[in-house]
Amino acid sequence: MASTDEDRMRKQREAGERESAKLWRACRTVHEMVRDRGYQLSDAEVTMSFDAFKQKYTTDDGSISRKMMNFSASPTLEMIKRYSNPVTAHDLHPSSPDIGTIWVEFLPDSNVGIKQMRAFAQHLTANNFHTGILITGVNITPAALKIIPAVASETRIECFMEADLLVNITHHELVPQHVLLSKEERTALLQRYRLKDTQLPRIQLGDPVARYLGLRRGQVVKIIRKSETAGRYASYRLCV
């Protein structure tokens, strides 16, 4: 009997360790994602070790608290510049860039429906968060997803599953580097080649890298690939 109890406790510890490891990997990826978009995060936040993660987020019962993993980040000056309209002779004082503080929430609920999504949207609006990333362990109901476009004029909502964040796709050797062009760089590119943006090749809004970078329709990314002859070469994609 004692051996059976020990085996059960050992299996519980191992299961808890696996769950903690998954959450750590998802937490690390989302911190990398937020920083790669241009938000301010310290190296300590992004490169937190597994031991440090467990020490910071483990509760008294030995489980990881997803609520304690929530965080916010402000855009860097570089990010603000990238989203700002270029100064022209006709518009010396362009409008403020459509960017702001981001809120990332790990939702512990085993069901994510209208109630949870509405509460998330209300939290973003009440606290003036420009963008919110909701990370869940389960699929969100179709009805709840309809809330996202309904509140788009007030706040931006993005959703990811924990399972999709266990690996950072941009670190894969087959995924080339994607760099978001500023509005000024986008204008210069189109003028240089005498193109309309619709003449550029396209990248879908739902593309995994587009989602990772939080791309918006109309934005242009520079894709840098390795070349055996040229060393590196660049191509451009319009997000649609």
pTM of the shown model: 0.92
Contact status, residue 159 vs residue 129, Cβ threshold 8 Å:
no
Residue 180 lies in a domain: yes
Using CA atoms, how far residue 7 sits from 3, 11, 18, 19, 81, in Å, is: 6, 6, 16, 18, 57
Whether 153 and 218 map to the same domain: the answer is no
What pLDDT, on a 0 to 100 scale, did the predictor assign at position 92?
59
Residue 160 lies in a domain: yes
Helix, strand, or coil (residue 240): coil
Looking at residue 151, its amino acid is V
Residue 59 lies in a domain: no
Residue 62 lies in a domain: no
* Final residue in a domain of this structure, among 135, 167, 199: 167
List the domain range (segments joined by +) for residue 138. 2-52+67-167
Whether 190 and 115 map to the same domain: the answer is no
DSSP 13-41: HHHHHHHHHHHHHHHHHHHHHHHHHTB--
CA distance 206 to 158: 11
Using CA atoms, how far residue 139 sits from 40, 69, 145, in Å, is: 29, 20, 10
What percent of the chain stands above pLDDT 90?
83
Whether 205 and 233 map to the same domain: the answer is yes
What pLDDT, on a 0 to 100 scale, did the predictor assign at position 88?
65
Exposure on the CB side of residue 126, measured as CA atoms within 13 A: 6
**CA nearest to 137, candidates 114, 170, 159:** 159
Whether 44 and 85 map to the same domain: the answer is yes
Helix, strand, or coil (residue 72): strand
CATH number at residue 191: 3.90.940.20
Whether 71 and 47 map to the same domain: the answer is yes
Give me the number of domains the chain comprises.
Answer: 2
Tokens (6 digits) for 75: 């855009």
What pLDDT, on a 0 to 100 scale, did the predictor assign at position 94?
59
Residue 106 lies in a domain: yes
Looking at residue 52, its amino acid is A
Whether 153 and 180 map to the same domain: the answer is no
What pLDDT, on a 0 to 100 scale, did the predictor assign at position 74?
98
* Final residue in a domain of this structure, among 167, 186, 211: 167
Residue 189 lies in a domain: yes
Average pLDDT by stretches of 10, the chain with 240 residues: 75 87 98 98 97 95 94 97 80 74 97 97 98 98 97 96 97 95 95 94 97 97 87 93
Tokens (6 digits) for 97: 């860039």
* Final residue in a domain of this structure, among 167, 192, 219: 167
Q: What is the mean pLDDT of the chain?
A: 93
For 189-221, letters b (16+ CB in 10 Å) and e give bbeeeeeebeebeebeeebebbbbbbbeeebbb
Question: Residues near 87 by Cβ (< 8 Å), separated by ≥ 6?
Answer: 94
Tokens (6 digits) for 19: 């769950």
